[in-house]
């Protein structure tokens, strides 16, 4: 009745209900977790120590966290960039969203042609409010020195 549907790329998946593991649950990781919860994601995390104030399941090591996650969010330098590129190009890794690179501004050229990669500059701090807060912090540090 509906005919044949041709799909030229992989089918995407809904975010809701996915198991998301977060490596590094500091202020940024906690904010990511909060936002993902609103999509109905099931959050777990790994950090150096279990955080008593956090209700998410804690994994002592990254391997166990990754095995029990559909999506892995890494909030600190953990990735071998060359290996990441190899896995993405070879199709062994479904996708990646990247905003930090080993040798910025030299980004591996292979990443630009991949449909399963989103490259983003770190621009969250490029707001007047962030610049004001940065100015206040620098001024306070100079006065304390």
**Over the stretch 40-95, which tens digit does the pLDDT of each residue have?**
999 999 998 999 999 999 999 988 999 999 988 887 666 788 888 998 898 888 88
Q: What is the 8-class DSSP label of residue 93?
A: S
Domain(s) of CATH 3.40.50.720: residues in the chain = 1-78
pTM over 0.85: no
Q: Check if the beta carbon of residue 71 is closer than 8 Å to that of residue 43.
A: no
User: With 80 as the cut, is the pLDDT of residue 3 above it?
Assistant: no
CATH architecture of 1-78: 3-Layer(aba) Sandwich (3.40)
User: With 90 as the cut, is the pLDDT of residue 8 above it?
Assistant: no
Q: Of all residues in the chain, what percent carry a pLDDT higher than 70?
A: 86
pLDDT band at residue 21 under the 50/70/90 scheme: very high
Residue 3 — left, alpha, or beta (φ > 0 → left; ψ -120 to 50 → alpha)? left
Task: Name the phi and psi angles at 3, rounded to 5.
Answer: 80, -170
Instruction: Determine the 3-state secondary structure of 8 from DSSP.
Output: coil
């Amino acid at each position: 009745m509906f005919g044949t549907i041709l799909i030229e790329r992989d089918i995407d998946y809904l975010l809701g209900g996915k198991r998301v593991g977060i490596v590094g649950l500091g202020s940024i990781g906690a904010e990511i977790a909060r936002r993902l919860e609103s999509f109905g994601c099931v959050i777990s995390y790994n950090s150096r120590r279990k955080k008593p104030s956090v209700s998410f399941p804690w994994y002592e090591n990254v391997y166990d966290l990754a095995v029990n996650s559909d999506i892995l969010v890494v909030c600190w330098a953990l990735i071998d960039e060359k290996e990441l590129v190899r896995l993405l190009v070879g199709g062994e890794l479904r996708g990646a969203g990247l905003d930090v690179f080993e040798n910025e501004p030299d980004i591996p050229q292979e990443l630009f042609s991949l449909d399963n990669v989103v490259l983003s500059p770190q621009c969250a701090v490029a707001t007047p409010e962030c610049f004001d807060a940065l100015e206040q912090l620098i001024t306070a540090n100079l006065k304390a020195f």
